[in-house]
Structure 1
Amino acid sequence: LSFFIDKKSLSVGDDGVIRYTVVVQSPAGARNVNYEGIRCDNFNWRLYASINEDQTGWDRAVERDFARIETGELNSYHSALYQDYFCANKLPTGTAQQILSNIQMKRTAVSNYH
């Protein structure tokens, strides 16, 4: 699977939640589009909405409350986003623009220390 973050959707809220739209695409072209959030202070993620079947708007019926990020799950992109780009020391790694720049340049949190 391939994972993409919509750069216009990424934000760092005053509540410490990093919100973003993720596109998950299979090699055959099937796509899932979700609007999600990650909390740096407690290693949790939340699903706010998914694109509806017609791909014309958001379906909030799928909304889930915050849950712990599981690192051992198949395609655990939440863990990778948290550890590599979004969070360090239980805080966002920077502004939305700084996070996007790190993603685009493939600068992970660990590489920023070297």
Structure 2
Amino acid sequence: MTRGGLLILALACGPAFAGLLVDADSDWKEGEVVMPPAVEEARLRAFDVGASSPNRFFVDEGSVSVGEDGVVRYALVVRTAGGAENVTFEGIRCATGERRIYASGRPEGNWVAMKKSEWQAIGGNAYNRPRAALAWDYLCDGPAPPRNRDHALQLLKQRRDHYSSGGR
């Protein structure tokens, strides 16, 4: 079976298998990563993670980009019921079902790069559930990323619910 065939088979079997793939494109190289502007309340778009959680999840629409490398980058905001907030700048590779956290946001609006930032498989566990929802239910169409930033923003407005229905 070809590498492409393995990718399609793994994605059809579900997101848990997608991360087990060897990189679908061995020549792939990540493009330059540029930190977005500070998160702004007015640009936050809530999204549903498809599981009960006391937390609320948002993407800062001003931070969304789709690189020539196929990586969808965005600022993720997680707010707890107790009022705590966690802000991270992240990326998703639809082609491999992986995610990466580039930086952590600080209350004053600046970004601090993560000391250890590597591509990791997206799982459906509680910690990764917002990333899985973004990848499987909003941003990725199988191994294909959104066409561009406008397309990504359009997708964020509509939930496809592939993950919870067993699709992918």
Does the TM-score normalized on the shorter chain lie above 0.5?
Answer: yes
1:36 and 2:90 aligned: yes
Q: Provide TM-score, normalisation by structure 2.
A: 0.58
Runs of 4+ displaced beyond 3 Å: none
Q: How does 1:1-114 map to 2 (within 5 A)?
A: 1-52=55-106, 54-71=107-124, 73-75=125-127, 76-104=129-157, 106-108=158-160
Q: What letter corresponds to residue 94 of structure 2 in structure 1?
A: C
> Matched residues in 2 for 1:42 and 1:11: separation?
18
Q: Identity over the aligned pairs, expressed in percent?
A: 35
Shift in Å, 1:101: 2.0
Q: Whose relative contact order is higher, 1 or 2, with alpha carbons under 8 Å and at least 6 apart?
A: 2
Q: SS where residue 75 of structure 2 aligns?
A: strand
Structure-1 residue corresponding to 2:51: none
TM-score (norm 1): 0.84
Contact 1:85 1:93 in 2 (8 A): no
The structure carrying a bigger strand percent of its residues is 1
Q: Which has the larger radius of gyration?
A: 2
Equivalent residues, number? 107
Instruction: Report the alpha carbon displacement of residue 63 of structure 1 after superposing the two structures with TM.
Output: 4.4
Query: Which 5+ residue runs of structure 1 have no aligned equivalent?
Result: none
**Runs of at least 5 residues in structure 2 that lack an aligned partner in the other structure:** 1-54, 163-168
